[in-house]
Every structure is written in C-alpha cells, then in structure tokens.
A and B are shown apart, each in its own frame.
Chain A
Amino acid sequence: MRVSLILSLVLISALYGSAYSRNRESVNAAVTQRNPDNEAKRVEGEQRFRANCGRCHAAPQKFPPRMMSTIVRHMRVRATITDDDMKLILLYMTQ
C-alpha cells in the first residue's frame, strides 16, 4: 500500500512536470524575443552560472522569469552566491 502510494506520487509529479516543461518552452521563446540587447551580459551570466551553479548540478532548462526570480533567491541563500553573480545569473536564465 505504502509502496503504491509513494510510486503514485512519484509518477504524478513526473507527469505534471513533463507537461509543464512543454508549456514553459513557449514562454522562454517569448522572453528571448523581448530582450535582444543584453548579449554581453547574457554571456557573462552564462559564465557565472557555469562557475557557480555548475559546481553542483548540470544546467537546468530555463524557467519563466517569475519562477527564476524565486529559484535564484533560493540559490542565493543555499549556495551563498554573491549579489553580482546572482543578478547576472538571473539575467542569463531569463533570456
């Protein structure tokens, strides 16, 4: 019973996440079109991302900006990322 319950939870979260990731691809495309002038900062942000976040995990798919704001705030606390790094990573992850 408990095995089934936990397996069901795992399955439901996986299916929901999979469906959600398809939706957010279109959102990311729209965000990219809105900010075409920040290429230098975006490149710098990518470097900061690889240096800071890449120490622990692979690059995730980009999330919508409002989600990224929350995630970056969480990671700023968790991974003690500096203020400058956080800004550039946020820019990179929302472009």
Chain B
Amino acid sequence: MAKVCSSNAFVRLGRPRQILLFWIAIAFLAAGGLAHSQEAQDLSERPVPILTGSAGYFTNVTAGENALTPVVMPVILVPIGERWLVETRGNFSAEFERPEGGGAYGGKVEKNLDYLQLDFIANPHLTVTAGRFLTPFGIYNERLYPIWIRDLQVTPLIFPIATGSSDGVMLRGGFPVSSSVNLNYATYFSTASTVTAFESDRTIGGRVGFFFPRPRIEIGTSWQKLLQDERRQSEGFHFAWQPPPIPLNLRFEYARGHSGSGYWVEGAYRFSQVQTWNSVMRRTEFVGRMQQFFAGEGDVSTNSDSEYHLPHSNVQQPDFGLNYYIKDGLKASASYGRWLGKHNYNVWSFGIAYRFAIPLGRSESQ
C-alpha cells in the first residue's frame, strides 16, 4: 500500500517535476562517483572496441511443419574513457517455411534493435544507462536470451510478459551488503515510442536480486507498471542455484501480467564428472524444462510488432534437450518438447550456435 501511495504521489508531481527530481537524484549519485578512485582500472588494460555476438542456424519442427531459422545477433561494444560504454545489439532472424502446397522455403527477415545504450559507471554502486535497453524483468531477457547462452533454443512461454526493450533511463548496480550476500538492482523509466526500430511502451519498473556466492543461490523479484492504456501491472520472481559440488544449473522464473501468468523451471546438467568417455561427456549437457502458462483476461496481442506472443489459452510444455559444446563458443543443440494445450503437438529444434568476438583495434597490451 505504501508503495502504491508513494507511486501515486510521484505521478501527481507532474512530468516536469518528475524529470527534475530524477536528474537531481542522478546528479547526486554521480557526484559521489567522482570521488571514486581509478582503482577499478588499475588491473585493466586500456579497453578496445569489440564486435561480438552470436550466429546460429536452426531447424524447428512445430506440429509437423518445418521452419529454417537463421539468426545473427551482432553486438558492438565501444568503451569510452574509463567509465563509459556504448553498447548495441541487432537481431536479425527469420523463419523460412514452405508455402502451402509445396515450393521453395521463404519468409520475412525480422530486423530488431534490441539495445543501443550509453552506460556511465558513476561509482561502484551505480551505473546510469540511457537509450534503448533490454527491460530488466526476470533473468531470461537480459542474461539468458543470446542463442549461445540459452540451454534450450525454444523460449519460455512467459517470456513476452513485461520483457523486450525500453527507451529511457535506467539505474542499476550490484554491491555486497555483507560478506555472504550481494545485492543487485535495476530500476528504469521508459517512454512511449512508435518510431520504427525504437518501439517501446511508457513504463516504470525495476528488479532486485540477492546473490549468495557461497551456495551460489540467487533470488529476486521484478515489477513493472504500464503508464498508458489500461495501466496494467506485472510482477515476477526468479530463483537460480548452482550447487557448487556438481555441474548442475537450476533456474526458475515466475511472471504474472494482465494477460496471464506462468512459470518455467529448468535444470541443465553437464556430464563433466562422468569418467567414461570423458572427452565427449564433459562437452555434453542434458537439459530439462517444465513450464506452464495460465491465460488471463487481458488481450494477448498487445504488441503486434513483437515476434513473441503469449498463448491464448492454458498451456503446459515439458522440454528435453542435449547440448554438445564442440569448442569455445560453438555448440550443437537438439531438443524435443510437447505443447499441451487446446491442441497437442510436438516441438523439435536442431541447430548450431556460435559466439564470436573480434577486436576493432589493436587487442594486445601496449
């Protein structure tokens, strides 16, 4: 209730005062950063711009229909001085399918600008980001989305809830609150935009997480308020655990929005401790995921530009997959899932993903 009241009070201030207050807060926090020593750079070499990202090619078979899916996601990182970073990611993907009645594969290439942001590391506790950025809601959108990282190429059912990209300003950071707990946070304001490649909604939101390094557990929660149309609200919760003795990665995410709610829980086990055929087994990973979506009363087609959509009815989907890490940054993936909704069908995915990193300048020490 207190949160709602303070939120309403902030809204009642009016836009010019909100903006003034916001920039006063940023100036205050940034001023603290000016006293911050250059210690962070002592261990570093002078950074060089990089072209990195991932590329992949997948064959997806959904309900018996083939789709060839090439994906290229280039990322450009341009460090400026000791505290600034310009970063951007494009997303070029397609789903080439045969037309009904046969013929050559064809389809439209989707081109998206996932982020184009300027980061200012104000101090050890705060980074100020302006521009277009990935909406910090849950953990999938910001951390697990790149095809070379995700354990299963099929995105979770709840992925469209409160994620995507936002245009505006974000404050974020991470710092230890005790010897055994690190806190990380992100809070943002996004403006409404209908400019091509910069589409976004007018929203405000944030995420906070607590990471316990010793047991390698992270728990966190996310929140977003839409400041337009029906002014709907979304909430989320995430949990991740890597039990240190075994190469197992467990993740869980729950999200609830106007259009529905759901969760996914995923486990990925790397067979690196298996001694038989160890050279092969240590490169092999088994993944299992269970997820459910419960349709709400809202319209699911809120953003027709997005390539991701929520289901229109209740769905559950178990998925199983295998990843084989051929070499650094190169992996082959295969997975099978079963869509269990109004109609039941199989979801297969096979493909290969590659992560590249190329310096745009002299990369060796000077």
Chain A interface (Cβ within 8 Å of chain B)?
2-3, 6-7, 9-10, 13-14, 16-17, 20-21, 24, 27, 31, 48, 51-52, 54-58, 60-61, 63-74, 76-87, 90-91, 94
Report whether A73 and B96 are in contact in the complex, using a CB–CB cutoff of 8 Å. no
Given A54-B242, A55-B218, A64-B364; A17-B356 close (CB under 8 Å): yes
B17 located at the interface, meaning its Cβ lies under 8 Å from any Cβ of chain A in the complex: no
Alpha-carbon distance between A74 and B52 when the two chains are bound, in angstroms: 11
B30 located at the interface, meaning its Cβ lies under 8 Å from any Cβ of chain A in the complex: no
* Cβ contact of B175, chosen from A63, A71, A72, A83, cutoff 8 A: A83
Residue of A nearest to B148 (CB): A57
B43 located at the interface, meaning its Cβ lies under 8 Å from any Cβ of chain A in the complex: yes
Chain B interface (Cβ within 8 Å of chain A)?
39-40, 43-50, 52, 55-57, 68, 70, 72, 77, 79, 85, 87, 92, 94, 96, 105, 109, 119, 121, 124, 127, 129, 142-144, 148-149, 172-176, 182, 184-186, 209, 211, 213, 216, 218, 240, 242, 249, 270, 325, 328-330, 354-359, 361-366
Report whether A90 and B44 are in contact in the complex, using a CB–CB cutoff of 8 Å. yes
Alpha-carbon distance between A85 and B109 when the two chains are bound, in angstroms: 40
Q: Which residues from chain B contact A57 at a C-beta distance below 8 Å?
A: 148-149
CB distance from A21 to the nearest CB of B (A): 7
Q: Which 10 A-B pairs have the closest CB atoms?
A: A83-B124, A80-B184, A80-B174, A69-B47, A17-B356, A65-B45, A61-B328, A70-B47, A6-B70, A66-B48
Report whether A2 and B109 are in contact in the complex, using a CB–CB cutoff of 8 Å. yes
Alpha-carbon distance between A82 and B121 when the two chains are bound, in angstroms: 12
Report whether A70 and B49 are in contact in the complex, using a CB–CB cutoff of 8 Å. yes
28 interchain pairs, CB-CB under 8 A: A3-B94, A6-B92, A9-B72, A10-B56, A10-B70, A13-B354, A17-B357, A20-B357, A51-B213, A57-B148, A64-B365, A65-B45, A65-B365, A66-B361, A66-B363, A67-B48, A67-B50, A67-B359, A69-B45, A69-B46, A69-B47, A70-B47, A70-B49, A70-B50, A77-B85, A80-B172, A80-B174, A86-B40
Alpha-carbon distance between A52 and B49 when the two chains are bound, in angstroms: 23
Report whether A71 and B127 are in contact in the complex, using a CB–CB cutoff of 8 Å. no
Report whether A78 and B143 are in contact in the complex, using a CB–CB cutoff of 8 Å. yes
Q: Which residues from chain A contact B39 at a C-beta distance below 8 Å?
A: 87
Q: Which residues from chain B contact A16 at a C-beta distance below 8 Å?
A: 356, 358
Alpha-carbon distance between A81 and B57 when the two chains are bound, in angstroms: 31
Report whether B79 and A70 are in contact in the complex, using a CB–CB cutoff of 8 Å. yes
Report whether B176 and A7 are in contact in the complex, using a CB–CB cutoff of 8 Å. no
Report whether B242 and A72 are in contact in the complex, using a CB–CB cutoff of 8 Å. no
Q: Which residues from chain B contact A51 at a C-beta distance below 8 Å?
A: 213, 216, 242
Alpha-carbon distance between A27 and B45 when the two chains are bound, in angstroms: 14
Interface of A is mostly: helix
Residue of A nearest to B56 (CB): A10
* Cβ contact of B85, chosen from A52, A55, A63, A74, cutoff 8 A: A74
Residue of B nearest to A10 (CB): B55
Alpha-carbon distance between A52 and B358 when the two chains are bound, in angstroms: 23
CB distance from B179 to the nearest CB of A (A): 11
Given A13-B354, A55-B240, A77-B172; A66-B45 close (CB under 8 Å): yes
Residue of A nearest to B57 (CB): A10
Alpha-carbon distance between A84 and B328 when the two chains are bound, in angstroms: 26
Report whether A80 and B186 are in contact in the complex, using a CB–CB cutoff of 8 Å. yes
Q: Which residues from chain A contact B185 at a C-beta distance below 8 Å?
A: 80
Report whether A77 and B70 are in contact in the complex, using a CB–CB cutoff of 8 Å. no
Alpha-carbon distance between A64 and B211 when the two chains are bound, in angstroms: 29
Report whether B55 and A9 are in contact in the complex, using a CB–CB cutoff of 8 Å. yes
* Cβ contact of B43, chosen from A13, A78, A90, cutoff 8 A: A90
Alpha-carbon distance between A7 and B92 when the two chains are bound, in angstroms: 12
Q: Which residues from chain A contact B358 at a C-beta distance below 8 Å?
A: 16-17, 20
Report whether A78 and B142 are in contact in the complex, using a CB–CB cutoff of 8 Å. yes
Q: Which residues from chain A contact B173 at a C-beta distance below 8 Å?
A: 80
Report whether B72 and A73 are in contact in the complex, using a CB–CB cutoff of 8 Å. no
